[in-house]
Structure 1
Amino acid sequence: MRTGQRDQTYSPLSWADSGRSVLSLNIRHLWLFGLWPLHDFWPFYLYTACGLLLGFWNVVEGALAAYFSWGDMDDTTLALLTAITQGCGALKMVVFLYTRRHFSALVRRLDALVSLQSEVCGGGSVPAAILRASRRRAKRTTLGTLLFMLSQCFVWYPIPLVAHAEERRLPFAQHPWDGNRHHYALSYFAQCAAGLLMTQISFGVDCLFASAMILVAAQLQILTVRLKEMAVVSRTLCKGKTAYFEEDLLTRSTDQMYNSLRICIEDHQKILRFVTHLQNTMSPMAIMQFGASVLVICFALFQATYSKDFSSALKCTSFLPVPCTQVYLYCWAANEVTIQAEAVSLAAYSSSWVETSPRFKLSLRILISRAQKPLILTAGHLYRIDKEAFLSLVNASYSYYALLSQTTNK
């Protein structure tokens, strides 16, 4: 029975499944750009293969451009910047296709987790408001970041045709080996198509994880509200009643509190198990993005500062917030999960446990002890993801930029 349930959890998502999911926007965005198949349709797999081929061709093209332009720091860093950006998107695509079953399980488990506590989110309650706010925040974060990334196309793609109309320049890597003379229109189109696909896929995967972490943080916040609202019947309400009635009322109240606590503990354990699955699925993507972002920030900052070509400086200046945003998405969302997980312990202690039964107090101590263990997400199971990590990565990028600047000045 458990094997059957596991197979169903890891089974591919259909179009109808994606529509019912809390991550429907993220899933269908990745479907639109050829990454997440929602039906068994062979032209879609051809579309995916073409996108992957374009992505790796753009990486090879950028590496060749950096090799042939070696010695010209301006062209070399610009070629490396685009090659690293495209390469990160292509590698994310490969990892996703290899571990697609884990992404399907991630979505199904998150949907089950959200529906689990939806039963206590009725009407105008505080948990209901938290749940609605988290879903809005996840969608707005996804839409905002994806549209911001899409806006880069209006800067990078037309500039070569406007600023260098007679020089036959390409949007990304140039072809120093032939001066962009051969197959210029085809190369221009291939770079634009690959750039759009790889950046949208890269950002789409990042937004998927960020949305999942936002919703998990909300589930932990709802759990804290449920723990705080647990209360035993006060003895002042039993004044004037018989001793038997008072004892019976208190007994039923403490039993009800114990049952509520037991359910909260079970929900907390399910949240922790989901976070473990999220960690395992997200870890390789996060470490790739962190490494790529450090280098891209360095190269973009160098281009924006030292490039003699105004159009290159403009493109890199507009692009500089992109890798910063990708890193910040992970760090901000993971930090929210850590903060809300820490709040569970305080919420449990703040409940009305003084007049409860011994078994309630024992269970509460176990919950508090487990909740006091920090819930930390990592990149590559090595690098802690939080707001401090964002600052350290930006500092590392600036250190590499300073080193590159000193090399240039010499």
Structure 2
Amino acid sequence: MAREMPESMELPLSWADSGQSVLKLNIRHLWLCGVWPLPGSWIFEVYGALGLVLGVWNAIESTLALYFCWGDMDESTMVFISTFSIGCGTVKMAFFMCNRRQYYALARSVEMLVSLQSEFCSADPALADIRQGSQRRTSRLTIGLLLLMLSQYPVWFPMPLIARPDERRLPFAQHGWDNNTNFYELSYVVQCVIGAWTTQISNSVDLLFVSIMILTAAQLQILTIRIASLKREDIEVKLEKGISCVADQTDNSCSDKMYGKLCQCIESHQKILRFVKHLEKTMSSIVMTQFSFSVLVTCVSLFQATYSTELGSVLKCICFLPVPAGQIYLYCWSAHNITEQAEAVTLAAYSCSWLKASHRFKRALRILMSRAQKPLVLTAAHLYPMNREAFVSLVNASYSYYALLGQMTK
């Protein structure tokens, strides 16, 4: 779908454009993290490249730390947790920066999607409430989860200074080659900056896609109400005819009106389906990355919280456990809502007044129902479905790996 779009759709957004977007919070937070230029300059590019360099530096530092602490299960698992979490943000940042044009097009497509049924929302307060409610939900979810992530930093960053004040400990990977003696203060600050930067990028990218899926599900919900409301319009016409034949309200004109409104619904449905395919193609690689890293982080965090003898490590892992599990759940929950709303289109079509409608109305309605019966399932890398069952299976996978680590430890 991205190739069918005009080139103007893939141009960078300006600061003013982002301010008018329903994804304003997500876009500007990504800009703050150095990922989404508004528009961009060489200084911004250097700023973004610095984030990638720090991510690579963390991978090298963690590899060396694992080499020197190998055999110490408590120390090794803590390094794995930080490495997987920071590595996930770094990989997402690389994917995002390599495919910026797709994200520009996606942001503009979201604006077109939200305005797709604005005419009907303006005429019906119930539809307007659904649209506005979805926008409020995305804003609250974005702010709430970013604040939740910020609440992790006071637990992880100063914990070495609180739990072991007499030792020169670093927040994540320890420098076993020099016993944290060289450049200790600089290393401490760099690890804190890397951890905060990459985790904010990781969560912001997730929230961008989750917000888009929430808005898409709302558009499908609006569409189902529009289709079902054809019944009410037909009843009103019948009541008018029962009293008198007002104006030029004949059977043919009534049928033409219903058929025209059904065609509008079908057109909206087709546009939403095309947008969902575009969304899946854009976010597929990032979702698969998140699923993979979240399973690993959840497994190792649970293991560390269970078997560690250090209170500080246990506290950090317990506080951090909801984050990777929550990231998986948000994707599965929002994608599952799209699937459910897409399935509801068939029921809405069956609920409208089709019994005494014209033949072409019934024919068009059958086509709509046939297409709506095909499950609209978003996938990760076109391999793994995103739904509530997938969330349960991923959690089970994390627990299986955790049980395996426990057996190995014993």
SS at the partner of 1:40? coil
The 1-side partners of 2:352 and 2:379 are apart by 31
The 1-side partners of 2:3 and 2:158 are apart by 54
SS at the partner of 2:178? coil
Structure 1 stretch 6-15 or stretch 40-49: which is displaced more?
40-49
Pick closer, same or farther for the CA change 1:272–1:139 going to 2, 3 Å: same
Q: What letter matches 2:255 in structure 1?
A: T
Aligned twin of 2:284: 283
Aligned twin of 1:186: 186
The 1-side partners of 2:40 and 2:204 are apart by 22
TM-score scaled by length of structure 1:
0.96
Q: Deviations over 1:157-185 (max 9, x none)?
A: 11111111221101111111111111111
Where in structure 2 are the equivalents of 1:258-297 lying within 5 Å? 258-297=259-298
What is the Cα-based RMSD across aligned positions, in Å? 1.7
Where in structure 2 are the equivalents of 1:183-332 lying within 5 Å? 183-230=183-230, 231-232=233-234, 233-239=236-242, 241=244, 248-332=249-333
The 1-side partners of 2:134 and 2:33 are apart by 25
Does the 8 Å contact 2:339/2:375 carry over to 1? yes
Instruction: Give the paired residue count.
Output: 406
Q: What letter matches 1:191 in structure 2?
A: Q
SS at the partner of 1:49? helix
Deviation at 1:69, TM superposition (A): 1.0
The 1-side partners of 2:307 and 2:386 are apart by 32
The 2-side partners of 1:87 and 1:264 are apart by 44
TM-score scaled by length of structure 2:
0.96
Pair 1:7-2:7 in alignment: yes
Deviation at 1:123, TM superposition (A): 6.1
Deviation at 1:247, TM superposition (A): 8.7
Structure 1 stretch 249-258 or stretch 127-136: which is displaced more?
249-258
Does the 8 Å contact 2:9/2:104 carry over to 1? yes
Aligned twin of 1:61: 61
Deviation at 1:241, TM superposition (A): 4.1
Q: Deviations over 1:295-337 (max 9, x none)?
A: 1001101111111111111111111111001101100000110
Aligned twin of 1:337: 338
Deviation at 1:283, TM superposition (A): 0.6
Deviation at 1:207, TM superposition (A): 0.3
The 1-side partners of 2:39 and 2:105 are apart by 17
Aligned twin of 2:409: 408
Does the 8 Å contact 1:63/1:80 carry over to 2? no
Structure 1 stretch 386-395 or stretch 53-62: which is displaced more?
53-62
SS at the partner of 1:390? helix
The 2-side partners of 1:381 and 1:240 are apart by 57
Deviation at 1:236, TM superposition (A): 4.7
- Structure 2: segments with no counterpart, 5+ residues: none
Structure 1 stretch 284-293 or stretch 11-20: which is displaced more?
11-20
Structure 1 runs of 4+ aligned residues shifted over 3 Å read: 2-5, 233-237, 239-242, 245-248
Pair 1:91-2:91 in alignment: yes
Deviation at 1:355, TM superposition (A): 1.7
Structure 1 stretch 61-70 or stretch 28-37: which is displaced more?
61-70
Pick closer, same or farther for the CA change 1:228–1:332 going to 2, 3 Å: same
Does the 8 Å contact 1:220/1:340 carry over to 2? yes
Does the 8 Å contact 1:60/1:83 carry over to 2? no
Where in structure 2 are the equivalents of 1:41-52 lying within 5 Å? 41-52=41-52
SS at the partner of 2:117? helix
Does the 8 Å contact 2:255/2:358 carry over to 1? yes
The 2-side partners of 1:217 and 1:184 are apart by 50
Deviation at 1:234, TM superposition (A): 4.5
Deviation at 1:237, TM superposition (A): 3.2
The 2-side partners of 1:322 and 1:248 are apart by 59
Q: Deviations over 1:3-53 (max 9, x none)?
A: 996101111111111111111110001111111111232221111111111
Aligned twin of 1:163: 163
Overall identity of the aligned pairs, in %: 55
SS at the partner of 2:272? helix
Deviation at 1:110, TM superposition (A): 0.9
SS at the partner of 1:284? helix
Aligned twin of 1:104: 104
The 1-side partners of 2:189 and 2:322 are apart by 25
